[in-house]
Amino acid sequence: MILVDATTLISLGQIGELHLLQTFDRKIIIEGEVLDEVSTEPAQTNVSEFLDRDSVGLNRGRADLLDEEAERERKAKDLLGETDVNGDVRIIAGVLRTGQNDDRILVISDDKRVRTIADTLGATVTGTVGVIVRAVEVRDMTTEQGKELVRRVDSHGLHMTGELREKAYELVEDAAKRK
């Protein structure tokens, strides 16, 4: 299972590349609260189309939370220092739902706090750059195409530091060599 954060949905949605999320061989789940955080265009429209077109699960069920799920949300809020349920809380609750050290769960987020907590709970963690690297690794994508995706993401909202951009290029180059 893959839990995708709004940060990555916005980054890939802004450039129309949400399909890259499907390079992972797992079911994609987007929590309703995460979807609500995607409010900029064209990301919002692209995410809606992605949900309609592809086999992506949308988890909106909160009306009659089971006691166990309510407890996971409470624990997630505590871990994150949040008072309300938001996308980050739902992602961490999702990690708690699957159990610690379950290598079947992947969290895709560019939020350092979410990544750190998800990793501590045993989830595999990556971000937008990791999605691009994966696409270069498993698709017929060249190094230059991967670097161009990094540049597009950078210029449409992710705004990487020079050091991070160079590291992203290096990861893309390494992925291309591993093909």
| CA distance linking residue 83 with residue 85, whole number of Å | 7
Reply yes or no on whether the pLDDT at 91 is more than 90: yes
Q: Is the CATH number of domain 2-126 3.10.580.10?
A: no
Give the start-to-end residue ranges of the domains of the chain: 2-126, 129-178
Average of per-residue pLDDT values in the chain: 90
Give the pLDDT confidence of 97-140 residue by residue, as tens digits: 886 555 679 999 999 999 999 999 999 999 999 999 999 999 98
The predicted model scores a pTM of 0.90
If pLDDT is split at 50, 70 and 90, which confidence band does 159 have? confident
Q: Which of 67, 23, 14 is nearest to 41 (CA)?
A: 14
